[in-house]
Structure 1
Amino acid sequence: MVGMRDVAKRAGVSLSTVSLVVNNTGYVSADMRAKVEAAMRELNYIPNELARNLYHDRTNTIGVIVPTISHPFFATLMAALQREFAARGLRTLLCSTADASTGEAEYVDMLRRHMMDGIVMAAHTEHTEDYWTSIGRPVVAFDRRLGAGIPSVGSDHEQGGRLIAEHLIASGARHVVTVGGPRKQFEGLGDGTTFPTVRYHLTLERLVEQAGIRWDYVDAGVVADLGSHARAARAVLDRFPDADAVVGSDLVASYVVQEALSRGIRVPDGLQVIAYDGTYMADAAGLRLSSIRQDTAALAHRIAERMERAVAAGTARGKSGDAVPSDSSPAVEDAVPVTFVSGATTR
């Protein structure tokens, strides 16, 4: 097997010079670098990436934990994240907790053992804040709060709820049904909510109630249970035949449209349907839906920025010989604006 000593001998340079070139550290003259690179090509020398990673304390790999990639929003977000990390020279390692029940624990273990540079946590977790803050390695949360010092990136869901409420109030809606995850996620919220996503429901409910509009809520189950979304769509029209507006994820909204049309209900004349996410699924319901569009490209960019900063800070502290403690400051939330997109006028 060809090693760096062989490359040094062929190039006529010192072993340390070859090391500097391979690891891209320190100054090497252009002439010396050319000799080393030529020798590497002649000998078909392939650098030991594991050793190089250990030298830099970097793997250039980021783990991303999502609840499922079957859901249109997480599939869209994952594609945007992979593009964003790739543009920064980083690989993405995906874990869907719906498909790998032990994935979260395995990824955290890999992070602790420096087999990854950081984790993007975008799935539900049963672990407490102490667990996440004790990891002492780069973690960025998406659409959830994990604990003090762990940055959180997500859409401005309060803005989303407000935009929907303003639209429904202006349109003269009388009975609004919203569809979302288990209502227990709403318990003990305030500013300390673990799931910032529910803020759009809370904001929407508060504003339509203030306007004298009736509202009801239908539980569509956890995000990974895609079958429950279709059942929830049927339940909305079975339980609330007088509803004139339904708000739910793109998938739920698409099912509601299909169910309404099968019952002879015109959309949006007889029933307004507003999708929350704005992925490709919002255009796959048989007509273009009005929707709140989350900017997945901007979300991915913010997540990658936060991760790069966290990794750089951790690497610098690690090289100094110090431990890499969790930041004791409050969790910082990055809220990315959303957009209201008008849909088709009738069907």
Structure 2
Amino acid sequence: MVGMRDVAKKAGVSLSTVSLVVNGTGYVSDDMRAKVQAAMKALDYIPNELARNLAHNRTNIIGVIVPTIRHPFFATLTSALQREFSERGLRTMLCSTADSDKGEADYVDMLQRHMMDGLVMAAHTAHPVGYWTSIGRPVVAFDRYLGPDIPSIGSDHEQGGRLVARELIATGAHHVVMVGGPRSQFHDLENLSEGDADTTFPTVRYYLTLEHELKAAGVRYEYVEAGEVYDLEGYAHAVHDLFDRFVDVDAVVSSDFGASLCVQEMLRRGIRPGVDMQVVAYDGTYLADAAGVRLTAVCQDFDAIASALAARMTALIEGEESSAAPSDLDPAAAGAPSQTSLGASSADMPVPPTDGRLPGSAVELIPVTLRKGYSTR
């Protein structure tokens, strides 16, 4: 088996020079680097990545927890995240809680045992705030609030709700039906102010904002539960039934998946999308263009979301490393002020609002846009 000593002998350089090139640490002249790389290629030398990661106390693996990859939103999100992390030299380990027997607790355990460097939490969770804040390793939440010490990235769903409302009000909608997840998920928004809530689920804010705007405009609205996000069959049943339950409905709002099912049901019933009934999709994934009619959609910026999540995760990992570095390298600096256990400054953390807003707002909100299609007037 070829080792670094063989590479050093072939290149005519010292073992330490080969080590610097392989590990990407320290300064090596371009000439020396070229000699080492040529020797590695000639000998078919493959660096021992496990040993290198152990030396750096890194795995370069980020866990990503989503409810399911069957849903087009999470399929699009994980694709963007994997691409973004890859560009930063990081690999993605995916946990789809509804599609496997591996739950979030297994991944948290792997993170605590340093089998991965960080965790993106993008699934609804029943664990209390204390569970997440006690982990003590890099965790970034997506579209949910996990506790006061955990940074969160999310789309601006209140903006999304306003965009949908203005579109439907301006086009003369009279009876709007919203199709979404269990209404019980809204409870934590109400209870968080008491300090004993489990988590918040910011995505529901587009429904709450939409309802508020429609009510103010005197537009009738209903909310239909379609089951959990991974219950695709539940969405199909809910969309089918709403046409029989609400004979005067003239606008439907749902995820891209629910909106696409709605258009298909309309076409089966001879209802003209955008003429007899309006449909607004929320997410802006590839499915918004594959429903048979190009849907009017509120588009979440997946590239910007992935970039923000990756940037925050990288900062936490680097902060964790730098907070440990003084005591390792300079004992005299051990008592110097350090960053939090997650490597983020207190200025980055969510604080209890004082202006009446719901607690749990994301640290960073990514703007959404409304793309006009043929499913609205």
| TM-score range normalised by the length of the shorter chain | over 0.9
Offset, 1:284: 1.8
| Alignment of 1:279 onto 2:290 | no
8 Å Cα contact 1:266/1:346 also seen in 2: no
CA distance in 2, matches of 1:216, 1:41: 65
| Alignment of 1:58 onto 2:55 | no
Match of 1:213? 219
**Matching residue's letter, 2:203:** T
Match of 2:235? 229
**Secondary structure in structure 2 of the residue aligned to 1:302:** helix
Match of 2:341? 325
Q: What whole-Å deviation, never above 9, does each CA across 1:293-323 have from its counterpart, x for those lacking one?
A: 1111111111111111111111222334489
8 Å Cα contact 2:8/2:14 also seen in 1: yes
Match of 2:331? none
Change (3 A) 1:266 1:319: same
**Secondary structure in structure 2 of the residue aligned to 1:187:** helix
Change (3 A) 1:42 1:172: closer
Offset, 1:346: 7.7
**Matching residue's letter, 1:221:** G
8 Å Cα contact 2:278/2:375 also seen in 1: no
8 Å Cα contact 2:178/2:222 also seen in 1: yes
**Secondary structure in structure 2 of the residue aligned to 1:228:** helix
8 Å Cα contact 1:141/1:150 also seen in 2: yes
| Alignment of 1:339 onto 2:355 | no
CA distance in 2, matches of 1:223, 1:241: 26
CA distance in 2, matches of 1:202, 1:105: 31
Match of 1:264? 270
8 Å Cα contact 1:149/1:328 also seen in 2: no
Q: What whole-Å deviation, never above 9, does each CA across 1:112-171 have from its counterpart, x for those lacking one?
A: 122211111111122121111111111111111111221111111000100111111112
8 Å Cα contact 1:142/1:152 also seen in 2: yes
Change (3 A) 1:181 1:20: same
**Matching residue's letter, 2:17:** T
CA distance in 1, matches of 2:187, 2:305: 26
Identity percentage over the alignment? 65
Match of 1:307? 313
Offset, 1:221: 0.5
8 Å Cα contact 2:188/2:200 also seen in 1: no
Offset, 1:37: 3.2
**Secondary structure in structure 1 of the residue aligned to 2:125:** coil
Q: What whole-Å deviation, never above 9, does each CA across 1:99-122 have from its counterpart, x for those lacking one?
A: 123232222222112221111111
8 Å Cα contact 2:296/2:376 also seen in 1: no
Change (3 A) 1:7 1:261: closer
Offset, 1:10: 4.1
Match of 1:251? 257
Offset, 1:231: 0.5
**Secondary structure in structure 2 of the residue aligned to 1:248:** strand
Match of 1:161? 161
**Matching residue's letter, 1:36:** V
CA distance in 1, matches of 2:191, 2:311: 24
Match of 2:108? 108
**Matching residue's letter, 2:130:** D
Q: What whole-Å deviation, never above 9, does each CA across 1:176-200 have from its counterpart, x for those lacking one?
A: 1111110011114159561110000
**Secondary structure in structure 1 of the residue aligned to 2:221:** strand
Match of 1:150? 150
8 Å Cα contact 2:122/2:143 also seen in 1: yes
Change (3 A) 1:188 1:131: closer
**Matching residue's letter, 1:335:** L
8 Å Cα contact 1:65/1:94 also seen in 2: yes
> When the two structures are superposed, what TM-score results if normalisation uses the length of structure 2?
0.86
| Alignment of 1:97 onto 2:113 | no
1:10-21 residue pairs with structure 2 within 5 A? 10-21=10-21
8 Å Cα contact 1:21/1:28 also seen in 2: yes
- Aligned pair count reads 347
**Secondary structure in structure 2 of the residue aligned to 1:68:** coil
8 Å Cα contact 1:148/1:328 also seen in 2: no
**Matching residue's letter, 2:233:** G
Change (3 A) 1:189 1:32: same
CA distance in 2, matches of 1:176, 1:38: 67
**Matching residue's letter, 1:73:** F
CA distance in 1, matches of 2:172, 2:376: 16
**Matching residue's letter, 2:341:** P
